[in-house]
Structure 1
Amino acid sequence: MTRNPTRRDFMVVAAAALLPRRALASPFREIAWEDLIPEGVPYGEIIGPGQIDAINDTWVPQFDKNASMVNTTLDGKPVKLPGYIIPFDTGSGGVTSFMLVPYVGACIHTPPPPPNQLVFVTTDTPWPSESMWDPVWVSGRLSAKAMSTQIAEVGYRIAAEKIEVYKWQ
């Protein structure tokens, strides 16, 4: 005996048809560098006056307390952030730890950005050395825990689950 399809049968089929699309959706929330600054702290107020380092012929910014304030609402969240690589650990397979910075040359040719604009990234899958100077997307869980490196004070960390070349749209 054959039964006629019910409304519930149609709903189950419709829900199943939507599953593959949702499975393809990224689990990472795309964020921008300004999202790393806590709400209510204007970007213009995180860098105070600075001074010239005459020996090294560079400008040394003086950061105020706002520069080290991190957005704790993002702590532990899966995020996707664009940026540029400043390599720390590089092997034959590529880069396994690096600083993600918001603009080209940060920390190398210019003084470092404030701590809440720097992310220390580690990855189990090395990023190829020949692609080191390309802008990238880094996806992983963001940790709002400060650390010190030989280059700068850092406000965030990410254990990268995915790194990919940033494509301009």
Structure 2
Amino acid sequence: MRVGVLFTVAVGSLLLPATTAAESLKIGWRDLLPEGHAPLAPQKIRPTPSAKPREIALSTALDGKTVELSGYLLPADREGELVYAFMLVQRSGACSHMVQPPPSQVVRVVPEEPYRLSMNYEPVSVTGTLTAGLEKTQLFILDGVAVIESGYRMSMAQVANADFVEESRPPTPWSFLGNREQGK
């Protein structure tokens, strides 16, 4: 009987589509914007309750597709150094050191298996099926609790360390620090 169970499991696993990096479409953060939309800059001030909500534009062109995207990991659900869910953001420091990026530039990721984190904002590459849709996640960050809105989700994603994360940084009030260090 045990052989029959193993055979069924083996045959059944052959019928499931495998998600590999070779079969995925490598995308950048601009690809998460619908065609014709410019990237939104992060809000400079937190909105007031009476403020009109910003229009949120998401791309549906990649909805349901297997993609690979690199960014920075901000843990949402963790136990010690194991991360069970996280936000993938374009810039290191987003959401805790800076104002939250627009939802179109935040992906909520649930890894296939817990990811062993070595530091917050660790650069990672994530491969999985992208799903468009707004979702709010509560995080504990440096300033306390924050609610982060993501425009996309990847479940059962494969996560790997990234040596390089393509980043387009908008100007910040701290950019003069980099120039001072380089003697400019």
Structure 1 residues 63, 48: CA separation in 2 closer, same or farther (over 3 Å shift)? farther
* 1:51 has 2:48 as partner: no
Which runs of 5 or more structure 1 residues have no equivalent in the other structure? 1-23, 54-61
Paired residue for 1:35? 31
State the 1:161 CA deviation. 2.9
* 1:90 has 2:81 as partner: no
Structure of higher CA gyration radius:
1
The separation in 2 between residues aligned to 1:92 and 1:123, in whole angstroms, is 16
Q: CA RMSD in A?
A: 2.5
Q: SS state of the match for residue 118, structure 2?
A: helix
Among 91, 95, 101, the alignment partner of 1:113 is: 101
Q: Please list every run of at least 4 consecutive aligned residues from structure 1 whose deviation after the TM superposition is greater than 2 angstroms.
A: 46-53, 131-134
Structure 1 residues 74, 143: CA separation in 2 closer, same or farther (over 3 Å shift)? same
State the 1:158 CA deviation. 0.5
Q: Per-residue displacement from partner, 1:1-60 (whole Å, max 9, x unpaired)?
A: xxxxxxxxxxxxxxxxxxxxxxx87111000000001010112xx34864379xxxxxxx
User: Which structure has the highest helix share of the two?
Assistant: 1
The separation in 2 between residues aligned to 1:89 and 1:39, in whole angstroms, is 33
The separation in 2 between residues aligned to 1:129 and 1:33, in whole angstroms, is 22
Structure 1 residues 86, 75: CA separation in 2 closer, same or farther (over 3 Å shift)? same
* 1:104 has 2:80 as partner: no
Asked if the contact 1:48–1:63 (Cα under 8 Å) also holds between the matched residues in 2, the reply is: no
The separation in 2 between residues aligned to 1:153 and 1:52, in whole angstroms, is 13
The separation in 2 between residues aligned to 1:167 and 1:89, in whole angstroms, is 24
Q: Per-residue displacement from partner, 1:127-161 (whole Å, max 9, x unpaired)?
A: 11225542000000000011112232110000143
Q: Percent identity?
A: 35
The separation in 1 between residues aligned to 2:109 and 2:152, in whole angstroms, is 9
The separation in 2 between residues aligned to 1:90 and 1:49, in whole angstroms, is 28
Number of residue pairs aligned between Structure 1 and Structure 2: 134
Structure 1 residues 155, 133: CA separation in 2 closer, same or farther (over 3 Å shift)? closer
Which runs of 5 or more structure 2 residues have no equivalent in the other structure? 1-19, 139-146, 166-184
Q: Per-residue displacement from partner, 1:65-113 (whole Å, max 9, x unpaired)?
A: 1xx2111011000000000011011124610100000010000111110
Asked if the contact 1:140–1:158 (Cα under 8 Å) also holds between the matched residues in 2, the reply is: yes
Q: SS state of the match for residue 76, structure 1?
A: coil
Asked if the contact 1:87–1:98 (Cα under 8 Å) also holds between the matched residues in 2, the reply is: yes
Among 123, 129, 153, the alignment partner of 2:117 is: 129
